[in-house]
Amino acid sequence: MSKMIEIGVCGAHMEGLPLNHQLLNLEATFVKACKTAVGYRLFNVPEKNPPRPGILKDASSPYALELEVWQMPLENFGAFMVQIASPLCIGTVVLEDGSSVYGFLCEGDALKGAEEISELGGWRKYLTCKAQ
């Protein structure tokens, strides 16, 4: 049996959103919806198509952000990684229960002047508000 790796996604890779197919094509399966621990900020990353957010770890932030945890066979993780374009990257994301997963983070320089949406608590809420 394949070893599995868990990945936290917070934007366009979430279930039903435009890049979710990248997970599904690599045999990823949904594990759970949850939140990060407090201490993260969420931004709308400029000039990305499809639009997507970037998470920045910031211990002074009062926000916990919604995300989904998916698991995929470890041997497929490299194929997933090569699809991730700068300024997004993979790092360690701490969840509300104290556990951690690999997840999307964003390079800080790319967020200078970007719209911060942390107070909404997640990308789906941002998309809903933007559509209204």
pTM over 0.85: yes
Q: Is the pLDDT of residue 25 over 90?
A: yes
* Architecture per CATH, 4-131: Roll (3.10)
Confidence band for 30, pLDDT divided at 50, 70 and 90: very high
Sheet holding 29-35, edge to edge: 29-35, 66-73, 4-9, 100-106, 88-94
Q: Mean pLDDT of all residues in the chain?
A: 94
Q: Is the pLDDT of residue 90 over 80?
A: yes
CA–CA separation, 130 and 132 (whole Å): 6
**How do the domains of the chain map onto residue ranges?**
4-131
